[in-house]
Structure 1
Amino acid sequence: MQRALLLMSLRASRALIPRTARRSRCSARYASAQPLGKRGVTDGSDGITLFGSEAIQNGAAPSITVFWLHGLGDTADGWAGAFVPGGGITMPSPDYKVVLPTAETLPVTLNMGMQMPAWFDIYGLDAGAQVDEAGILKAAARLEALVALEDPATKIVLGGFSQGGAVALTAGLRCPSKNVAAVVGTSTWLPLGDSYPAAIADGALERPVSLHHGDADEVVRTSWGEASKERLEELGCRVSFDTYPGMAHSACPEEFDAISSFLSSI
């Protein structure tokens, strides 16, 4: 059963996100700012960087940079379509950059050691399953290293889907960079909850957190998202938690609209 759910996760992250993005309403506000894609992120991994303008691509500091991490078994391609004009998520300014890294290819224990893009290993889907703490912290450190390369005046948003969201939440609490402004997590959970508050970086509790979850998610259960919200609130974070009726381990236009609104409020 667990392996079947994991394979559902892979199908969702690979297939449903681009299709959902194409269904989303087109935003004319910044449709004229055609992002330019670049293969290979700064750390040398396979990934995609989207630029809101040629000036940003040529080195001008963006007003906002969003780092978005895909889910288990996916790549940067799975979410790039959501951030292009009309793709679903509208950026609050034309002077933006979106960085979409691709995870390392790792053997995933739950899937009988199958090699796939993964931010960390998964041993089981039950609450008491072993947790790959070293892998989670390594992925969060990689994200923090990318953040450190950004201009200090640029607002940074850390976000991700499913396993990528778990890394974004981890980095959001631990990253010392002062320009990290907010965190977004979709269909995800907060790992290593017992390591807080000791591991929280100075100023991290001031970063608003926007969580989104389908109420029919059988991979990352909605109750995990709710428990993560409660834990973050216990720590002192400002957290919003939106649920979407009938949505499984996927995304929807209403979720993209909510993320767009959140980004415009930062």
Structure 2
Amino acid sequence: MAGRGALHRSVVAPAGRHSASVIFLHGSGDTGQGVRAWINQVLNQDLSFQHIKVIYPTAPIRPYTPMRGSLSTVWFDRYKISNDCPEHIETIDSMCQELTSLIDDEVKNGIRKNRILLGGFSMGGGMAMHLAYRYHQDVAGVFALSSFLNKNSAVYQALMKNERELPELFQCHGTVDELVLHSWGEETNRMLKSLGIPTTFVSIPHLYHELNKSELEKLQAWILKKLPEKSNDE
């Protein structure tokens, strides 16, 4: 429904000079503004930085099979919410093309690819892994909160043929997540690590399928580590 490059987005501008960007993808059925508001509620402030712009795009509306074909703001369709079924690769690939236009916009604004982080919550984290590890292996890093990849993911297939240095992955997952099982997140991390990706996996005790303060503070610290105010080659 949204054409290429036409994704609605909510933006947290940097306080100072813009030298890096984060693209944060919401979970299924949410919006960019929605996940930004949720983060604000958990942290009592925006996820904001002196030099980093944070962009929260909203997924186009499409029929979503796990909701019996009802329309929802989802990055891609799924046959079911499980790690043990094929991926809906057609919708994933078309969305990767649309999201590439967001990355291109940042590059046009003078932000190098190695100063851009991609990530998200739940389905947004899965989308970010496809986007980075299949199409944009030169970004600064990837984060995935309460996310997973299917067992035979196209991401794994792409990485089997890869020989270049890959962006680091930062993953957090609640131990009692009832929607996206902790074991699915762990298995995703283990597979990506075996395929040459430097990974961090943080288990958050007693956390369901949600965000919490300690997780977001860890993410904030990791973002600053990957995107320091002065990049080495500036």
TM band (smaller chain): 0.7 to 0.9
**TM-score, normalized by length of structure 2?**
0.83
Structure 2 counterpart of 1:230, from 190, 196, 200: 190
- For 1:196, the equivalent position in structure 2 comes to 158
- Is 1:49 equivalent to 2:11 in the alignment? yes
- How far 1:100 moved relative to its partner? 0.9
Structure 2 residue ranges without an equivalent (≥5): 227-234
CA distance in 1 between partners of 2:44 and 2:20 (Å):
18
Secondary structure of the residue aligned to 2:55 is strand
Alpha-carbon spacing, 1:126–1:44, altered in 2? closer, same or farther (3 Å): closer
Q: CA offsets per residue over residues 38-84 of structure 1, 9 Å max, x none? A: xx9x922222122124x76xxxxx22100000000000112223369
Q: Retained in 2: the 8 A contact 1:88–1:253?
A: no
CA distance in 2 between partners of 1:96 and 1:197 (Å):
29
CA distance in 1 between partners of 2:105 and 2:145 (Å):
25
CA distance in 1 between partners of 2:83 and 2:6 (Å):
35
- For 2:232, the equivalent position in structure 1 comes to none
Q: Retained in 2: the 8 A contact 1:212–1:255?
A: yes
Sequence identity (%): 27
Q: Retained in 2: the 8 A contact 1:66–1:98?
A: yes
CA distance in 1 between partners of 2:44 and 2:197 (Å):
31
Q: CA offsets per residue over residues 62-115 of structure 1, 9 Å max, x none? A: 221000000000001122233699526453xx1221111100111111111111
Structure 2 counterpart of 1:174, from 113, 124, 134: 134
Q: Retained in 2: the 8 A contact 1:124–1:130?
A: no
Structure 1 residue ranges without an equivalent (≥5): 1-39, 57-61
CA distance in 2 between partners of 1:75 and 1:185 (Å):
17
Secondary structure of the residue aligned to 1:213 is strand
Q: Which amino acid aligns with 2:64?
A: V
- For 1:130, the equivalent position in structure 2 comes to 86
Kindly report which structure 2 residues correspond to 1:133-212, keeping only aligned pairs within 5 A, or say none. 133-150=89-106, 151-153=110-112, 155-176=115-136, 178=138, 180-191=139-150, 192=153, 193-198=155-160, 200=162, 203=164, 205=166, 207-212=167-172
Quote the RMSD (CA, aligned, Å).
2.6
**TM-score, normalized by length of structure 1?**
0.73
Q: Which amino acid aligns with 1:195?
A: Q
Structure 2 counterpart of 1:106, from 49, 52, 62: 62
CA distance in 2 between partners of 1:145 and 1:199 (Å):
25
Kindly report which structure 2 residues correspond to 1:59-98, keeping only aligned pairs within 5 A, or say none. 62-81=18-37, 82=39, 86-87=44-45, 89-91=47-49, 94-98=50-54
Aligned length: 216
